[in-house]
Amino acid sequence: MILFPNCKINLGLHVTRKREDSYHDIESIFYPVPLNDILEVVPSNSFEHHFYGLPIPGEAAKNLCVKAYDLLKKDFPDLPSIKFFLYKNIPAGAGLGGGSSDGSCMLQLLNEEFRLGLSTPQLIGYALQLGSDCPFFIINKPCFASGRGEILEPVKISLSPYSFFFIHPDIHIDTAWAFSQLTPSIPGKPLTEIIKQPMTTWKDELKNDFEKPVMEKFAELKPIKQKLYDAGAVYASMSGSGSTFFGIFEKNVAINVDMDKCYKTTFIK
């Protein structure tokens, strides 16, 4: 069985509070985008994993697909051994939630393939054990995210009339470091109000708190956002804690982003 885990972008991202459990509360609009990995699972006599495509940092045992299987195996001892193949197309550590999407898709795939009978709320509960933004990929619809990112409220927004242009610098941003650079604060205007406005107003009002510290540490990232606007983007931003930037463009517009470096780019119509 094969699924195609997609990524997400953040439309605005504010860190509002540091919690007593050392996590942070955030506010953001999570929006799914069809930039996909490929995840295939087949029954096997022993548990095996095979990774292809873009590099995945860290030990295989810490991969969220492996953790998802272990999580369900604990509660479903009869869950068969599997062999899974993960082709990475979404860059890791780039603020796009690719790893979280892979883990959540593994939960859904195992539930369907082996008829575990888990409901959506139950899958969300398992996903939260994998990571704060994993529950979003169970719902996989535009949501206003709060708390650690696990409190999700559907929002009515469609970017289907637009195209997306991604620029992926080969820079891995450590999420813990990024959070440590911020002073939490409550935004003056709710994100849910800003996204109802014409997109031309987003440039001045829809902000990502992580952009400033990330661009201060990695000076080579500073020009990227402006170059997207120079190329005609209606809105441009860094996603998550970085380092990927995206531009939202009117469809059927020729996009020519003049970059000084050979960063990986992806265009989604």
Neighbour-count burial of 227, counting CB atoms closer than 10 A to its CB (0-12 exposed, 13-18 middle, 19+ buried): middle
Which burial class, exposed, middle or buried, applies to 18 when counting CB atoms under 10 A from its CB (0-12, 13-18, 19+)? middle
Looking at residue 243, its amino acid is S
Q: Is 225 a catalytic residue?
A: no
Active site residue 88: no
**3-state SS class at 179:** helix
Residue 115: what residue type? R
CB 165 within 8 A of CB 228: yes
List, as one string, the DSSP characters of 54-109: S---S-GGGSHHHHHHHHHHHH-TTPPPEEEEEEE-SPTTSSS-HHHHHHHHHHHH
Instruction: Tell me which of 88, 133, 209, 225 is the catalytic residue.
Output: 133
Q: Which amino acid is at 193?
A: E
Residue 196, CB-side half-sphere exposure with 13 Å CA sphere: 8
Catalytic residue among 8, 67, 88, 225: 8
Kindly report the number of other CB atoms within 10 A of residue 205's CB atom.
Answer: 15
Instruction: Report the DSSP pairing between strands 264-268 and 24-36.
Output: unpaired
- Residue whose C-alpha is closest to residue 54's, from 168, 139, 149, 159: 168
The residues annotated as belonging to the active site are 8, 133
